Amino acid sequence: MSNFIKSTLLLFVIFLIQLIIYSSFIQDEISTWNATKNEISAKMQGDKIAPFIVSTRAITIDANVKEVWNTLVTLGADRGGFFAYTFLERLLGFEAHTLDVPKDYIYDMRVGRLVPTTATKDEKYSFLVVASKKYEYFVLEGWGSFALKQISSTQTRLIIRTHGLKGLYTWAEVSDLVFEPFHYIMEKRMLLGIKNIIENPLDLDSNIKYDILWFSSLVLSALLILVFIYKNNSFVCFIFASIYSFLWLYCLLIFNPLSLYAFGLLVLVFISIILLPKKVIKNRWD
């Protein structure tokens, strides 16, 4: 058996291990990220129109309800963007960005408004506002419910409940398994982005740089892990690659998107490729 085939089989085994870890330990956690038991079980506006509930996520923001609402309703490619990875939004050509939205300008989130996800404002890729109550909630058809709960005069709880897709149950389950991690990555960053733009508006430029470093470090780490697997198909290297893949998965889904974690993993994998003893490299499976 060639070394390429051996490495490919090892990669497949690692992928299966990661899939088991994700479905057994991570999937439930990311579907309820930062939400309390009461928030998860509580009824929300829009639940009746949801084919099924995919997730309930939340975050505490150190600001009053009005300030959070006035920022939240600038959601959309035609307004303030999606508060997630601004550098990606700019590459997609959004007309407005989270950095450019005037803090003192109040937008409406009225029923019937289309929230576009693309710079072309294509209705096919837009979310329709089907319910809204100022300073309390709004519901986007095809996405879910956004609700604000006042904790105190200086703290607000933002809760997002994501709805499942319409269609056959089997297809919905498959779609949930495949696309939900990507939706979670963006939605989690959006929640953190809204919190950051309200609490630390002066730090936004530096945050964009850190986001780029986080994103690029994860991409490069994944590529280096592949190189590591195909360069060394010994048992010891398989163990190292499994550990690095596990850390990569956690950097992507569990840890907050901090560049320190992703860059640290990148350095660790790079050092392993360079410094791994030659005796270990030559000790391949036959």
> Where are the domains positioned within the chain?
3-27+210-282, 34-199
Instruction: Report CA-CA distances (Å) from 51 to 27, 39, 171, 173, 182.
Output: 19, 19, 13, 12, 20
- 0.95 exceeded by pTM: no
Higher pLDDT, 109 or 147: 147
Residue 104: per-residue pLDDT: 45
Assigned CATH topology for domain 34-199: Alpha-D-Glucose-1,6-Bisphosphate; Chain A, domain 4 (3.30.530)
Residue 259: per-residue pLDDT: 93
Strand, coil or helix: 53: strand
Residues above pLDDT 70, as percent of the chain: 83
Find the helix packing angle between 204-231 and 259-275, rounded to 10°.
30
Decide: 158 and 68 in contact? Cβ < 8 Å: yes
How high is the mean pLDDT of the chain? 85
Decide: 260 and 214 in contact? Cβ < 8 Å: no
Residue 88: per-residue pLDDT: 79
